[in-house]
Each structure stands twice: as C-alpha cells, then as structure tokens.
Structure 1
Amino acid sequence: MGLSNIPIDTDLCVGLFAALMDGFLEFTDDTWMLGKSLCKIHQFLKSVAVDASIYILVMMSIDRALVVTEPLQRFNTGSRFRWLAIVSSWFIATFLSIPLAVLFETIDIGNGTQICHIHFDDPKWWKVLLTTSFLFVFIIPVVMMISSYVALVSVLCRRYRLGRISSIRNGSVRSSRTMKHSSSFIFNSGISRSKFRSIQLALGVVSGFIICWSPYFVYNMLHVFDVIKEHNVRKPILILAYLHNVANPIIYFIYHRTLSCRLEISPSLEKTQSLSSTRRLRKLTKEKSCQDNQNPKCNQIED
C-alpha cells in the first residue's frame, strides 16, 4: 500500500490540534484563557498538523505515480522512500509553521478578554502572509498532486493501448461489451487489481482535499485583498475543510472492508475464470482442427 495509510495519522493530529480547539474557541467567542506561550504552541501545532496532512497527500500522489511509471525503481527504494516521504512532509510542515509561532500572541480586546491572534500595524503584511500560505500550502501541493496523476494516467493509457494492440495481434481480444468493463483496462494496462484500487483510493482522497480546502484558501485570498467583506461564510467554509480530515478515516475503513471481501472471494473467482479460459481454449482448438481437416462432422461444436 505504500503511503496510502499514513494520512490517517495526520488526520488525527488535525482533529486533535485544529478542529477540537477551533470548536472550543468558537464556543467561547474566540476568548483565549491559556496564556501567551500556549497560544503560540497551539497555533504552531495546528499549522504543523494541517500542513503535514497536505504534504503527506503530495508524497502519496508521487508514490502512486512512481509505482506505475517507475515500478522497478520504486520497488528497489522500498521502505526507504516511505520514510523519506514521511520525514520530508513533517519537516516542510514544521518549517512553514515557524513564522506562526513567532507572530501569534495574546491581544487584549478590553474587559479583561484576550484572543490568540496576529497583529500587524501595516495591513499589507496580512497579504504577504496569506499569499505565502496560499502558494506553499495549496497551489504548489495541488499542482504536484495533479501532475503526478496526469503522469500516472498517461502511462496507464499508453500501456492499455499497447495491451489492446498485443491482444488483437495474438487473437485474444475480448468482445466489445467485455472491453467496456474496468477489468479490461486493468488487464491490458499490465497493473494488478490491488494497485489499481490503491490508486483509486489515493485519487479519491486527493480529490476530496481539493474540493474541501479550495473554498477556504480562495476565501482567504479574496478577503485579504478586499474582494469580499463577508465574514459569516468563513465558519461553514472552515467546517468544510475539516470535514475532509474527518471523512478520510471513513473512506479508508470502507476501502479496506471492500478489499477484504474481494480477497475472500478471489480464490473461487480465479478458479471460475480458469475453468472458463480452459473451455474457451478447447473450443478454439476444436474449431481450428475442424477448419484444417474440413470435416463435415464438425458443423456442431460443443460448448
């Protein structure tokens, strides 16, 4: 499975350090009562968890692409690539989160109430901060994810076309109705069913990330550049973003349950497919023998 299971760990971190605390602050009207040090620590850990969950998805996309485009190289690197990807993701997330640990502080808004926030004397620094976040936490990861899957799909399609040509030349092409089935694509592209399903899983998780997090980052950019001034939509947009991390464990659970069921029935399925292939081979052999001998008794061919 490669890196396909790792995002669950980062999803738990996002839920612990981001979603739960943000929900608590929403309940208390953003009032911060834990002091300046914990304010900085909380925002730092929250940023690390969110950024790591995003860059783990990037590494997972690259891993799935390498499994198909460079299978031998990916096999040779093995667990070394896996650990390098994990360490790199957390290192990048930590590096990107350091400025937030410096900038966040407790701000007194009157009546003895404090909030954990960033204060800039010049509003342009908000534009610099959010633009940098938009670039390194959303745009670059999304471009890398999409590029990985474009490369993966292009290789699979090329292998599929070559497999179809080879099947036609060898006289083993399937019927047009059967060829429309996804198993035909897997068969001709030369990729195992388990790898194909892991690619489907990774693509689903990445698609969910883009769908759930796009409104959040786009809203931040439009708001900081005064394109929109509406504040009420920020809360539901943030909830949608966190829903991606909540949905991921459910997706993995359904995927593994489905995969387990398929593995349980695969022996009988393989036996059935083997018997069917043997019967077709016998029929083709008998037809060819009848054509070569031109025997009139071969007009009726037994199935």
Structure 2
Amino acid sequence: MRSTTNLLIVNLALADLLFIVFCVPFTASDYALLFWPFGEVWCKIVQYLVIVTANASIYTLVLMSLDRYLIVVHPLSSISIRTKTKTYWAIAVTWVVIFSACVPLLMAHGHVVYQFAGEEYTGCRFLHKEGWSYYAFQIAFFATSYVVPLLLICGLYIGMLTHLWRRTTPGGRVSVRRQRGKKMRVTRMVCIVVCTFAICWLPIQLYLLLKSLALFNTSPVTVVIQITSHILAYMNSCMNPFLYAFISDNFRKSFRKIIHCPR
C-alpha cells in the first residue's frame, strides 16, 4: 500500500478530512447563529485552517496528476523520481508552503461588531475595515486555489492523453482492441476527475468572488445559493479519496487483500 500513488491518496484523504472538520461545523454555526460563540483566537485559527486544508487537498490533486503523468509518459525515466522518500518530501513541502503562504489570514480575520434588529452582535469576519482588501483576497484565492491548479491538472492530463492516443504497440486485432479499451478507460477517468473538481469548486469560487465585488445584497436567495455552493465543495472533499483510490488498480488490489479474511 506504500506506493507513491497510495501515499498521495492518504494525504488527500487527510487533507479532505481536516477540511471537513474545520469548515463544516463552523460554517454551519455561522448560518444558525447571529453571533460567533468561539472567541476571536479560534475565529482566526479556523479561517486560517479552512484555507490551508482546502489548498492542501487541491494541490495534492495536482501532485497526483503529476504522478499519473510520469507513470504514463515517462514510466522508466521517472522511476528515480517517484520514490517514497521524494513523495514524502513533496507532500511535506506542499504543506509547509501552504501553511506559510496563508499566514496573513490569521491577521485578516477577527471579531466584527454589527447591528441586527437594533441589537449588537459579534461575528467572525474578514477585517476589510482595518485595511485588508477582501476583493484582493478573493482574487488571490480564486487564482491560486482554482484557476492555477485546474490549468496544471488539465495540462498534465492533456499531455498524458496525447501520449496515450499517439502511441501504438505492435500486435494483432485483439491487442489493438485492448489498447483502445485501455485508452478509453483512462480518458473516461480523466474526464471524471477534472469535471468533478471543476464543477464542485466553481460555484463557491464564483459566489465569493462576486460577493467581494459587492454585486449583490444578502437575501434569502443568495443565502441558499451560498449554502448550496458550500455543500458542493464539501461533496468534492467527501468524494475525492474514493474517486482516486478506486480508479487505481493497485489500490483496489491492495484494499481487497487487507479486507480479505481467509477462513
């Protein structure tokens, strides 16, 4: 089970689990309560960890796309690259870079006092009145957490599919049919992976970007749209480990060995 691919699958599962743990309960409390009951320190930590774990999950998908590209396009020359040690290093560097890059979020979030129905409440909000640009943050989040990784994933998979469909192996009609069947399976897998990520994350990314531009006011309709968009993003994190694990033949075989109980 300790192949490079499976190590990345485990890291993906960990990042997705942490994203759900830090995001879902506190986002739900935002919708259910008129105030933030967890204190300012936890407000900063939660907002920080939500972005960190979301990015860790997304960039693990990029690493997995690179891993699959190397397997298909450079199977021999990449053997020295696709080692367990280098995979551990790649995972560690990814987490460290994301943790470091997101540090400003600790300062950009905090308690905000607001009026509702004639009473004062405190919420956990972006501190745009203290000089932080919410628009700049959302542009950066949209670019680094959606556009850039999606372009990288698409580029790697396009390169992989181009290599697969151009390559021909000598053999009879049966061999040709097998090759075509394998190519179709890989193509289908790529479409599922890319479309799942793109569809699940696009609504919340667009909603938050448009919200930062103040293009609409909060209303029951926009709240429903925001909740639905959040749920789609959570669904992606729930599906990722299963999607990536069970399209891996080696993972499925190893998983069967683990759960098999000989009589």
TM (normalized to structure 1)?
0.69
Q: Which residue number corresponds to residue 113 of structure 2? A: 108
Secondary structure at the aligned position of 2:62 is classed as helix
Secondary structure at the aligned position of 2:174 is classed as coil
Q: Which residue number corresponds to residue 239 of structure 1? A: 231
Q: Which residue number corresponds to residue 203 of structure 2? A: 215
Deviation of residue 115 (structure 1)? 0.6
Deviation of residue 150 (structure 1)? 0.7
Q: Which has the higher contact order (CA 8 A, sep 6+)?
A: 2
Secondary structure at the aligned position of 2:123 is classed as strand
Q: Which residue number corresponds to residue 18 of structure 2? A: 13
Q: Which residue number corresponds to residue 252 of structure 2? A: 259
Q: Which residue number corresponds to residue 39 of structure 1? A: 43
Counterparts of residues 149-298 of structure 1 (less than 5 Å): 149-159=157-167, 162-163=168-169, 166-167=170-171, 172-174=172-174, 179=177, 183-185=178-180, 204-229=192-217, 231-232=222-223, 233-251=225-243, 259-260=252-253
In structure 1, how many angstroms separate the alpha carbons of the residues matched to 2:226 and 2:43? 21
State the Cα deviation string for residues 1-23 of structure 1 (Å, max 9, x = none): 51234311111111111122212
Q: Which residue number corresponds to residue 260 of structure 2? A: none
1:23 aligns with 2:6: no
Which letter maps to 2:92? V
In structure 1, how many angstroms separate the alpha carbons of the residues matched to 2:254 and 2:16? 26
State the Cα deviation string for residues 39-92 of structure 1 (Å, max 9, x = none): 111111111111111111111111111111222232112113311321132123
In structure 2, how many angstroms separate the alpha carbons of the residues matched to 1:48 and 1:63? 22
Q: 1:4–1:202: 8 Å Cα contact kept in structure 2?
A: no
Q: 1:13–1:49: 8 Å Cα contact kept in structure 2?
A: yes
Which letter maps to 1:87? A
In structure 2, how many angstroms separate the alpha carbons of the residues matched to 1:227 and 1:103? 22
Larger-gyration structure (1/2): 1
State the Cα deviation string for residues 107-136 of structure 1 (Å, max 9, x = none): 122445211111223899222111111111
Question: How many residue pairs were aligned?
Answer: 242
The structure 1 residue matched to 2:92, chosen from 83, 87, 104, is 87
**Identity over the aligned pairs, expressed in percent?**
23
Structure 1, unmatched stretches of 5+, are 190-195, 265-303
In structure 1, how many angstroms separate the alpha carbons of the residues matched to 2:132 and 2:43? 23
Q: 1:223 to 1:118 in 2, by over 3 A?
A: closer
| Greater CA drift, 255-264 or 11-20 | 255-264
Q: 2:9–2:245: 8 Å Cα contact kept in structure 1?
A: no
Secondary structure at the aligned position of 1:4 is classed as helix
In structure 2, how many angstroms separate the alpha carbons of the residues matched to 1:253 and 1:142? 20
